[in-house]
C-alpha cells in the first residue's frame, strides 16, 4: 500500500481525467484536444460497427469501455443502435455521460473486471483505454476481460497508442529541428508487435468483415505528419517573425484541409486502429 503522500499511477490517471472533466465537461475535447483525430476515431469506429451489423444481419450488442462523457455513445444512438452499454472507471465521467439522457445502460466499471457475463457482447469498443494501465500485466488482463465478455466471433475494436508510430514521428520532427513529443506520463504505449502478442490465442487481427474493408491501422498517419511535423514547423517559423504568432495551434483550417486531401500513408501516428476477432 502506498505511504502517505505517495501518488500512485491510478491517482495520476484519475487526477488527469478529473481535470479534463472540470475543464471540458460534455465537449469532445474532454479526452482529446485534437478534434480532427477525435472525429476520425469516431468515423472509424462507426464504420466498423456498421460492417459488423451488416454481417450479423441484426442490431449488434455493443459495449464501450472507457466511454468518457458519452460522446461516442451519443453518436451510436444517432446512428440508430439501440443495444448499447457504456462503462468508465471515473464516476465523474459516468455522471456526465448519464446527463445526456441516452437510452443506454451506463455504469462505473474497471476494464480489468467488467460486471458482465461471458459472451454477452458482439462488439467491444475502446478508445485510448488500455494505454492508461501502466503495467503490461494489467494491459493483458484488460484484453482477457474484453475477450471474456465477447461472444466467439465477436469483435474488439481498439484505438490505442503505439511506440513505433511515435518514434517515426519524432524522427521526422528531429530532421527539421523540432523537439520530440513525449509519451504522456499517465500512459504506457504498446511496443511494436506487443498488442498482437498479448492477443495471441484469444483473438486474430482482421482487416475486413464479410468482405467489407475496415479502416487502415495507420488511418491517422497522414494527419499526424501534417499536424505534428509540417504545421508544427510552420508555426515555429511564424513565431520567429518580429510580430510573433497569435493564431490557433490545433484544429486549424490548414491541418483539416491538407490532412483530409492527402492519402493515408506512412507510419507516423502513435494512435492506431486494430480490429480483433474473438476466437
What residues of the chain score a pLDDT lower than 70?
A: 1-6, 242, 244-248
Phi, psi of 206 (to 5 degrees): -125, 150
pTM of the model: 0.93
Distance, first Cα to last Cα, the chain: 37
Question: How many angstroms separate the CA atoms of 153 and 156, rounded?
Answer: 10
Per-residue pLDDT, 48: 99
Per-residue pLDDT, 15: 87
The alpha-carbon radius of gyration of the chain (Å, integer) is: 19
If DSSP codes are grouped into helix, strand and coil, which group holds residue 58?
coil
Question: How many angstroms separate the CA atoms of 52 and 57, rounded?
Answer: 8
Q: Which domains are present in the chain?
A: 9-163+183-219+269-278 (3.40.50.150)
If DSSP codes are grouped into helix, strand and coil, which group holds residue 228?
helix
Burial of 22 (0-12, 13-18, 19+ CB in 10 A): exposed
Per-residue pLDDT, 2: 41
* Positive or negative torsion for Cα 260, 263, 266, 270: positive
β-partners of residue 158 are 126, 274
Question: How many angstroms separate the CA atoms of 245 and 56, rounded?
Answer: 52
Strands (E), the chain: 62-65, 84-88, 105-108, 121-127, 150-161, 203-205, 208-209, 212-213, 271-278
Give the Å distances, CA to CA, from 58 to 42, 53, 120. 21, 6, 15
If DSSP codes are grouped into helix, strand and coil, which group holds residue 272?
strand
Question: How many angstroms separate the CA atoms of 87 and 148, rounded?
Answer: 16
Amino acid at each position: 500500500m502506498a505511504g502517505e503522500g505517495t501518488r500512485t499511477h491510478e491517482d495520476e490517471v484519475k487526477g488527469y481525467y478529473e481535470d479534463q472533466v472540470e475543464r471540458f465537461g460534455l465537449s469532445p475535447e474532454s479526452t482529446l484536444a485534437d478534434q480532427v483525430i477525435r472525429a476520425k476515431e469516431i468515423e472509424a469506429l462507426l464504420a466498423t460497427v456498421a460492417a459488423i451489423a451488416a454481417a450479423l444481419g441484426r442490431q449488434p450488442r455493443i459495449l464501450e469501455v472507457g466511454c468518457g462523457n458519452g460522446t461516442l455513445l451519443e453518436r451510436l444512438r444517432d446512428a440508430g443502435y439501440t443495444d448499447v452499454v457504456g462503462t468508465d472507471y471515473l464516476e465523474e465521467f459516468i455522471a456526465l455521460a448519464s446527463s445526456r439522457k441516452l437510452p443506454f445502460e451506463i455504469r462505473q466499471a474497471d476494464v480489468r473486471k467488467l460486471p458482465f457475463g461471458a459472451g454477452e457482447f458482439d462488439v467491444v469498443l475502446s478508445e485510448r483505454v488500455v494505454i492508461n494501465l501502466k503495467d503490461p500485466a494489467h494491459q493483458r488482463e484488460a484484453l482477457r476481460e474484453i475477450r471474456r465478455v465477447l461472444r466467439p466471433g465477436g469483435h474488439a475494436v481498439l484505438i490505442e497508442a503505439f511506440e513505433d508510430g511515435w518514434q517515426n514521428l519524432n524522427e521526422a520532427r528531429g530532421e527539421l529541428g523540432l523537439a520530440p513529443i513525449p509519451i504522456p506520463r499517465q500512459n504506457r504505449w504498446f511496443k511494436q508487435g506487443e498488442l498482437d502478442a498479448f492477443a495471441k490465442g484469444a483473438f486474430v487481427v482482421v482487416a475486413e468483415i464479410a468482405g467489407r474493408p475496415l479502416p487502415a491501422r495507420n488511418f491517422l498517419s497522414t494527419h499526424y505528419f501534417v499536424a505534428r511535423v509540417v504545421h508544427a514547423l510552420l508555426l515555429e517559423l511564424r513565431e520567429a517573425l518580429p510580430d510573433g504568432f497569435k493564431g490557433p495551434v490545433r484544429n486549424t483550417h490548414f491541418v483539416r484541409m491538407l490532412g483530409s486531401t492527402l492519402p493515408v500513408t506512412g507510419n507516423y501516428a502513435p494512435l492506431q486502429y486494430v480490429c480483433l476477432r474473438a476466437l
